[in-house]
Amino acid sequence: MIPVFEPTIGEEEIAFVVDALRRGEISGNFGSYLERFESEFAAFCGCKHGIAVSSGTTALQLAVDAAGIGAGDEVLISASTNIATALAVVRNNAIPVPVDSESETWNLDLDLIESLITPRTKGIIPVHLFGHPVEMSRLMKIADRHNLVVIEDCAESHGATERGRITGSFGLMGCFSFYANKVITTGEGGMVVTSDDKVAARLRLLRNLGFSQPRFRHEIAGYNFRLTGFQAAMGLAQLHKIDRIIESKRRIAALYNERLKTVAGLRLPVELEWARNIYWMYGIVITPGFGIGRDALIARLSEAGIETRTFFCPMNQQPFLQRIAGFRSAPCPVADDLWQTGLYLPSGSNLSEADIDRICETIADISSHSPLGATQAS
């Protein structure tokens, strides 16, 4: 089976992790690896502070809390995203309001934002889906006009840029995931980056059970969202390879684009002229012209030993969100459609050109043997 992703772990990661273990950098908020990983990753994002946490999910939850968002507040979020984006809002007793996607980049549609703002709206969490940046300069202008906090969900966008500026550096905070399938990984792990000193201090306090002075007397209700020292060591070794990993993701996307552009009925990922897409995962959308539906294609690819995943079930369709008091959702027809028609192909940075050839030939073959695909391609 060609897997949808494979982390790139080498001797450097092993050496750093072993060194961290030998130094006793196990748990707690100390140690050279944790500090180096935080400061080097923050610098990579063009931010002053990095606060390492246990996952992308906890990074987002912590960020929403640090932003002062709470009971009854509304937060606009991308409809098409991982559930973690909505959970961060819900776990702070606030209400997520899904924003439909636009059909080109699959990111939240900036034209819809102002129509969804109410007096209760306190923030926006845009998601840079599959590595294509949201047009943050435009989003920030809307947010500033309405006095909204912006927290970027960068779980899938390490290194992606808008007009040369890196995602994670536009909003008050940027939240990253280092899960195994992400651009860089610490196994489980995440980071919040910010250039605001006060927000950084609050994030550190919240991450560490709200410990302050005197020890064991707590002014605020915190969390234990700490990252271990040996995971930070792994993250640092990964960070040293990030440019190479991103380049290989972009090369894989270019190869896919070249081989799939002539297949009828496919919509391929874009890179708008102001964007640098890092193609975390190479997503495609199946249109009727392909001849068979998305689920049938997934089944056929699986039979051929090729693993894929569907796009996200949008937030307007999540049963537990629909049951939340005050939850409201405008229709999200584009995100609904992407959930039915989108899938992503193997995108691990180790994927060989021969693998990509095999995947694309299999897709082209399925299309040309379907009645509609054959007609449209000829």
Ligand X SMILES: Cc1ncc(COP(=O)(O)O)c(C=O)c1O
Given the rule CB under 6 A, which residues bind ligand X?
55-57, 81-82, 84-85, 127, 153, 155-156, 177, 179, 190
Nearer to ligand X, 94 or 127 (CB): 127
Residue whose beta carbon is closest to ligand X: 56
Element (H, E) at 34: helix 32-44
Nearer to ligand X, 182 or 364 (CB): 182
> CA angle 247-366-311, nearest 5°?
50
Minimum separation from the CB atom of position 216 to ligand X (A): 30
Quote the strand ranges of 130-281, DSSP E.
149-153, 161-162, 165-166, 173-177, 190-194, 266-267, 275-276
Minimum separation from the CB atom of position 175 to ligand X (A): 7
Q: What are the distances in angstroms from CA 170 to CA 289, 320, 362?
A: 39, 31, 41
Nearer to ligand X, 155 or 245 (CB): 155
Convert 145-180 to b/e letters by CB count within 10 Å (16 or more is b). eeebbbbbbbbbbbbbbbeeebbbbbbbbbbbbbbe
Nearer to ligand X, 59 or 263 (CB): 59
Minimum separation from the CB atom of position 343 to ligand X (A): 15
Minimum separation from the CB atom of position 133 to ligand X (A): 13
Minimum separation from the CB atom of position 39 to ligand X (A): 21
Nearer to ligand X, 85 or 367 (CB): 85
For residues 259 and 252, what is the distance between their CA atoms, to the nearest angstrom? 11
What sign does the CA torsion over 70, 72, 77, 79 have?
positive
